[in-house]
Structure 1
Amino acid sequence: MSESKLRSPSVAVTQEEYKQLTEKLSPKPTVLKNALSAFVVGGIICSFGQMIVNFYMNYLGLAKTAAQTAGTATLIMIGAILTGLGVYDTIVKYGGAGGIIPVTGFSNSMVSPALEYKREGYVFGVGGKLFTIAGPVLVYGITSSIIVGLIYLLIR
C-alpha cells in the first residue's frame, strides 16, 4: 500500500461525547439481582451448615458447642472438596458474596492457590502456597486473640 492512500487519523471526539459513549456502552449494574443471588446462596450455605450442626447434636449426641465446632470443620472440608472439584467456583460466580462470606469461602481461598501450584509438587507447590492467603489471616487472628486474652486477664 502506498502512503498516499492512508488518511491521517481524526480524533474529533470531545470529552462530553466520549463520556456519553462510555455510559451508553458500559454494562448496567445489576445490584438488586446480585444482592438477591448473594442472599440466596449465602442462605443456602448457612442453612446447610445449621442442618449439619443439628445432625451432630440430635443424632451423634454432641453438645451444642462441640456440634458447632464439628459443623464448622465439616463446612470447611466440604468447601475444600468442592473447590478441588471445580464446583465452588461456579457457586461463587452465581452467588458472589454469598459464596465468599461464609466459612466455605475461607476454605476456597486457602485451597485455590494451592491447586494452582500443584504441578510444582506437594511440598513446594501445594504446601508452599497453601498459606499464601490464609497465613496473614491466621497470624492476625492468633495475635488478636492473644492480645484480647491478655487484656481480659489484666482486667479481671
Structure 2
Amino acid sequence: MHMTNEEYGRYVDALAPRSKTGKNLMNAFWVGGLICAIGQALLNGYQALGLDETTAGAAVSISLVLLSAILTGFAVYDDIAKFAGAGTLVPITGFANAVVPPAIEFQTEGFVLGTAAKMFTIAGPVIVYGLSASVIYGVIYWVCSML
C-alpha cells in the first residue's frame, strides 16, 4: 500500500490517542497542591508543639521524605505518581521516591553492595549537581557580600 505523506499523516491522526493535557495538568496541580497543604499542616503542627520555624521546617522535610519513602515501599506512591505525574515529582517527596526503589531492588545483594551502593543510582546525580551548584552560588554570594 502506497500513501502520500498527507494521507499517512491523516491515518496517524485518526489512530493516535487524544492527549489529555488538561486533565493531566489539573491532576498534577491538585495532587502537588495537596502534598504542599500536608506540608503546611505539618509545619503548623510542629510549630504548635513549640518548635521554631526553622526546626519545624526541617521536621516537615524529614516527615514528607519519610512518608513518601514508606508509600513508595508499599507501591502506593507509584500509583499516585501515575495519576498525578509531575505533581508528585516536584515536591521533596519525589526525592524519596527516586531513592527508595533502587534500594529495594538491590537489597538482595546485601546492605553495603546492594542497598547502600545502589540507593542513589537515580538521585545521586541530582544530589551531586545540587550540592555543587549550592557551593558555587555560596562562594559567589560570599565574594559579592565582601565588596
CA drift of 1:112 comes to 1.7
Which structure 2 segments of 5+ residues have no match? none
Q: Are 1:143 and 2:132 counterparts?
A: yes
Q: Which of 22, 46, 55 is matched with 2:36 structurally?
A: 46
Q: How does 1:4-153 map to 2 (within 5 A)?
A: 11-58=1-48, 60-153=49-142
Aligned length: 145
CA drift of 1:123 comes to 1.9
For 1:14, the aligned partner's letter is T
CA drift of 1:101 comes to 0.9
The alignment's C-alpha RMSD in Å is 1.3
CA drift of 1:120 comes to 2.3
Task: Give distance in 2, aligned partners of 1:12 and 1:141.
Answer: 52
TM (normalized to structure 2)?
Answer: 0.92
Task: Give distance in 1, aligned partners of 2:9 and 2:64.
Answer: 46
CA drift of 1:12 comes to 2.5
DSSP-derived class of the 1:62 partner: coil
Q: Percent same amino acid among aligned pairs?
A: 47
TM (normalized to structure 1)?
Answer: 0.87
Instruction: State the match for 1:7 in structure 2.
Output: none
Segments of 4+ moved more than 6 angstroms = none
CA drift of 1:43 comes to 0.9
Q: Which has the larger radius of gyration?
A: 1
DSSP-derived class of the 1:131 partner: coil
CA drift of 1:57 comes to 0.3
